[in-house]
Amino acid sequence: MKRRTEFDLIETLFAPLARGTPEALNLEDDAALLIPSPGLELVVSTDALVAGIHFHADDPPELIGRKLLRVSVSDLASMGAEPYVYLLTIVIPPECEESWLEQFAAGLARDQEAFGIHLAGGDTVSTSGPLVLSLTAVGEVPAGKALRRSGASEGEDIWVSGTIGDAALGLMAMQGDLSVLGENDRAALKDRYLLPQPRIGLGAALRGIGSSCIDVSDGLAADLGHVCRASGVRGEVQFDCIPLSEPARTAMTADPHIADSILSGGDDYELLFTASPKSREAVFQAAANCDVKVARIGQMLSGSGVVILDAENVEIAVTTAGYTHF
């Protein structure tokens, strides 16, 4: 069956996602009109997912739409911003059926309501290559209050939210590994990979408390390295302090090499941030107010790079640097 025209697809699938968003101008113009609220700055982040690289062809389209939105919203959270609007670009190959696009749009509709963000525009084009999905998220943050990677200082604590390594193990479970785990544990890990939880509330709560922040997308060791480079400091992490889920602990007990995946695997989208030791109680209170668990995993020192230490303070070699795009 012949696919509807570009404008028919926009009208039926994507214009409904923009209803109630005045900035979108009903998707009838070439661009949106964004007007930040008084005293606020705009935070803008773009993410792209490519079929066969960032998601599998048989992944449910609704979950792909939800993950695309969530990973972009997570970037906003890492800077202490709250969601505002988003732009969407879809590069569609001939084999992509209309039913796939309908389910994808349904996933976006579900999560944009949950996270308080709506479509404001974008583009749809065709390609002879793979399906490509790109989303630009726009958030708002009080002027001068955005959390940056470059704000960490020597002597500060290193923190993470939630648990680390679950998404990487979830991908392994989807690939048929981790047979040591029961079906419920594998399902829980898969869910962490397919549907990350952006920490929007925590990011906003850390404004004025945290000195730097990043979301764990490329892997804990790699993302901490990004903060260290931007801030000109050295990160030292105690591996035993990294918060792990019970499935992750079970998997690591069965295979100690799982530790490398926990340190270098990405897609957790938890927040990794720094703060003064004097702010420990404030950090715990901010997390409690958001119903999010946080753990202090190390400290920033003078120097450069990242060091992971075991229980005997012996350095753990991280054999994989984390995800890289090239």
Q: Could you report the per-residue pLDDT of 127-168, keeping only the tens digit for each?
A: 998 999 999 999 999 999 999 999 999 999 999 999 999 999
314 domain residue, yes or no: no
Q: Do the domain assignments include residue 96?
A: yes
138 and 189 share one domain: no
* Residue 222 and residue 168 in contact, taking contact as beta carbons nearer than 8 Å: no
**Three-state SS for 85?**
strand
Q: What pLDDT sits at residue 5?
A: 67
**Residues facing 307 on adjacent strands:** 236
Helix (H/G/I), strand (E/B), else coil: 258: helix
To the nearest whole percent, how much of the chain has pLDDT over 90? 78
- Checking if the pLDDT of 323 tops 60, the result is no
Provide the token pair at 305. Answer: 């790079």
Burial tier of 230 (Cβ tally within 10 Å: 0-12, 13-18, 19+): middle
Q: Which three-class secondary structure string do you get for 173-222?
A: HHCCCCCCCCHHHHHHHHHHHHCCCCCHHHHHHCCCCEEEEEECCCCHHH
CA distance 45 to 147: 14
Look up the CATH number of the domain holding residue 83.
Answer: 3.30.1330.10
Length of the chain: 326
Strand partners, 295: 160
Write down the pTM of the prediction: 0.92
Sign of CA dihedral 182, 185, 187, 190: negative
Strand partners, 214: 272
Give me the residues paired with residue 159 across strands.
Answer: 273, 296
Asked if pLDDT for residue 324 goes beyond 60, the answer is no
Burial environment of residue 31 by CB neighbours within 10 A (0 to 12, 13 to 18, 19 or more): exposed
Question: Which of 251-260, 302-311, 314-323 is the least confident region?
Answer: 314-323
Q: What are phi and psi of 44, to 5 degrees?
A: -125, 130
User: Of 123, 142, 161, which residue sits at a domain end?
Assistant: 142
Q: Do residue 124 and residue 169 come from a single domain?
A: no
Q: State mean pLDDT over 206-214.
A: 98
Give the domain CATH number at 174.
Answer: 3.90.650.10
d(CA 282, CA 209): 7
Longest CA–CA span in the chain (Å) reads 65
Out of 17-21, 37-41, 198-202, which region has the weakest mean confidence (pLDDT)?
17-21
Q: Are residues 265 and 222 in the same domain?
A: yes
Residues 6 or more apart in contact with residue 279 via CB below 8 angstroms: 157, 209
Q: What is the DSSP letter of 51?
A: B
Q: Would you say 294 and 161 are in contact if contact means Cβ atoms under 8 Å apart?
A: yes
Q: Do 23 and 167 lie in a common domain?
A: no
Find the mean pLDDT for residues 93-108.
92
* Residue where a domain terminates, one of 121, 142, 163: 142
One domain, residues 269 and 216: yes
Q: Is the same domain home to 154 and 241?
A: yes
Domain boundary pick from 142, 158, 180: 142
Kindly state whether residue 326 falls inside one of the protein's structural domains: no
| The pLDDT of residue 300 is above 70 | yes
Closest C-alpha among 212, 324, 199, 214 to residue 275: 212
Give the count of domains, the chain.
Answer: 2
State which residues form the domain around 92: 6-142
